[in-house]
Structure 1
């Protein structure tokens, strides 16, 4: 059953494609007032038009989450428009696929600014409002490979591991203010992510199964209702994470074999 989010104000970054877009649709279907943040203005406009079929208000703003000035302006506009912010979904992210030795410094900064600094900027900007209203929910989108780094994706994995630790620390810092923090760990997802990678483009050549962006979106919306602290999309993802903790050397061997297929 879809949770009822009528009158809830939900901000989602990276809303124009993939998991972000699917989550925006799911939120609108649940009756939420949805604030859409992404870099691509035309895609945002098309999404706002699509979401007009569902109840609730929409506010779309195009900008870079790694731009602190934009983030401050965006959050101020959200508060001025709605008077509150119930849920922040930090979804915006970039990936890369290349050997670390071959990764340009400019790509390193761009990835880190989006995946980590953008999350920090939006989180810092929204916490005061959530404290003032006495409630809130921050949902950070990590990745299953934050649990175990993969060759050729070292900095992406590191950025998502940073998301994990930020989330865990925030959960303790904000509990007394009735602000919940959830970390979501998607695995391989059917989206445009592979086409937007820094470095080598295209889908990962491994044969691991992919889930739909809609399935991830439903898990995110459900987490708003349940307040669950950590969300795995599939049983396989959960098993991978816990197997890695119990048997790290065996997991190393498995990951190396998967990576070896890529280089052959």
Structure 2
């Protein structure tokens, strides 16, 4: 798909991967409707990109609200005439043992990572069908393919995203709607910093991939209609080693967790 002059919604655009993706797409001439809860950050993004080849339209709100998601899509189409790409990037996480995590936090994670994603998809699909096609890009996580201690609920929510996306891909193919999964690994985002910024953690050991690199992977997915995309060769290798040699992945996971993540519970958010 050509990015120039495309109309694209990006959720979770106030920081990290969402911010970098909005910047990359605007620089390529897209109209980006950027949404997140932090309206002041979205306004700063729009001002920063005022001289870009495209445009940033800030649209603050909470994707946990189904009504807001329908309003987001409706007003995008009313203003710009179409919706070419929906990028579901917004996400919440929590580092905690499953048995000890407050149920309210579990519900909030699923409300954002799964229900919010479904709300935007259900709002966008009728428009994409009507216009003859489009693309939905869901940002998952490399650990959705391998559960890790202290990240079970986040992993479960992203695994749900994977299966939703793969099922949608089959259901929407007759309507020329492409559904793409992107699997970022360790990224330098506010999400990761909130987890790794605790006492005793080592951010440099995890912050290996910049949000800009993930954004470029998303750009590639749009241009080439990719359906599943790993951001780095290491992410691809991890996924395939996990499938072929699960014991080796067990050892690697335990090594990383014991070295860096065996700390108190902490909520993280993007």
Shorter-chain TM-score category? over 0.9
Q: Which residue of 1 aligns with 2:116?
A: 118
Task: Report if aligned partners of 1:94, 1:196 keep a CA contact under 8 Å in 2.
Answer: no
Q: Which residue of 1 aligns with 2:62?
A: 64
Deviation, 1:176, is 0.8
When the two structures are aligned, how many residues end up with a matched partner? 260
Q: Which residue of 2 aligns with 1:39?
A: 37
Greater mean alpha carbon deviation, residues 32-41 or residues 243-252: 243-252
Distance 1:66 1:51 in 2: 27
Which residue of 179, 191, 194 corresponds with 2:192?
Answer: 194
Deviations 1:35-78 (A, max 9, x none): 00100010011101111111234321111111101111111111
CA RMSD of aligned residues (A): 1.8
Which residue of 81, 84, 90 corresponds with 1:83?
Answer: 81
Residue ranges of structure 1 left out of the alignment (5+ in a row): none
Residue ranges of structure 2 left out of the alignment (5+ in a row): 264-270
Deviations 1:55-111 (A, max 9, x none): 234321111111101111111111111111000000000111111122111111111
Greater mean alpha carbon deviation, residues 133-142 or residues 50-59: 50-59
Determine whether 1:252 maps to 2:250.
yes
Deviation, 1:250, is 2.2
Deviations 1:108-131 (A, max 9, x none): 111111111010000010000000
Distance 1:248 1:4 in 2: 39
Determine whether 1:235 maps to 2:227.
no
Greater mean alpha carbon deviation, residues 41-50 or residues 51-60: 51-60
Q: Secondary structure at the match of 1:139?
A: strand
Mapping of 1:1-264 within 5 angstroms?
A: 5-196=3-194, 202=198, 205=202, 207-208=205-206, 210-262=208-260, 263=262
TM-score (norm 1): 0.94
Distance 1:35 1:119 in 2: 16
**Distance of aligned partners of 1:147 and 1:180 in 2 relative to their CA distance in 1, 3 Å threshold:** same
